Amino acid sequence: MLERIDEYLKQWREPIWDGLYRRQENVCRQRLVEAWEAWHGLDADEGERLAISIYLEYLEHEIEESFATDPERRAELIREALHRLSRDVGSWLAEIVQARVLLSLRCWAHACGVLVLDRAEVDRLWNKVPPEDIDHQTWTYVGMWAFSAGELDYLKKGYRYFVTQPIDFMRDFSRQRFKVMIALLEERCQRRDLERLIELTPHLRHAQWLGRNIAAHCMEHEIWDDGLQQSLDDKVRSLRYAAPQTPLRTKPEGQRIKLGF
């Protein structure tokens, strides 16, 4: 349902995401300015224009939060964005985009400890978005929430998405991350799966997430050891001392990936 909107937004979303990963604040802000300028001259109906503007506001928040250095300021920015993006939009198409960005942001707020998110609110937002419009970013944030909340059904849906859809961004890492999260909750995670996840970790922010969540969970359940910690430390060190890069995009594989573990 959102194919036209997502295709239009791709020209701004990808350069901004790349700039966020590379820590290029000026690039991100300039692309956002260009996106808003293009929006003002956009030949589209009012519903499409409103839907696009909501997503641009979300991108604006991502830039502001990403480059804010004070944790309290970042939390404040998240709360402000949630309030601003929750307004009445009065368009069914804009409401779908709104629900999708709010779902991502609410899950992120939960992961950051800013605002606790319960299953009922996830279901409410989820049910507003057609299944085909739940994208890579939304699944990533929903997965973070689902793992912390122990919601296996959402994790399994997310894993199916990453192994059946033609994903080109962080494809292998995303699949492995969901695989490990499911296996951990089902208490059947193998050491080789954790080693593979560390190996595939593409960026420092993902390595830090892995340490705070996956490693911490493993330690609580006594399945983390010195060798895994050394591998994670080595990965963090290599990513910290390298220039920040965008995770590689790869050619989509379609549905050739076999389901299962």
Kindly write down the DSSP assignment for every residue of 32-87, as one continuous string: HHHHHHHHHT--S-HHHHHHHHHHHHHHHHHHHHHT---HHHHHHHHHHHHHHHTS
At residue 252, the pLDDT reads 45
Tokens representing residue 14 in the block: 């990808």
Residue pair 212/196 in contact by the 8 Å Cβ criterion: no
3-22 vs 46-66: helix crossing angle, rounded to 10: 10
State the sign of the Cα–Cα–Cα–Cα dihedral 176, 97, 39, 30.
Answer: negative
Residue pair 102/67 in contact by the 8 Å Cβ criterion: no
For 200, 212, 241, the CA distances from 72, given in Å and listed in that order, are 31, 19, 27
Total-model pTM: 0.88
Other C-beta atoms closer than 10 Å to the C-beta of 237 total 11
226-240 vs 191-200: helix crossing angle, rounded to 10: 10
Counting Cβ atoms within 10 Å, is residue 44 exposed (0-12), middle (13-18) or buried (19+)? middle
152 Cβ neighbours under 8 A, 6+ residues apart: 146, 182, 185, 186
d(CA 132, CA 1) in angstroms, rounded, equals: 7
User: What parts of the chain have a pLDDT lower than 70?
Assistant: 243-261
d(CA 228, CA 107) in angstroms, rounded, equals: 28
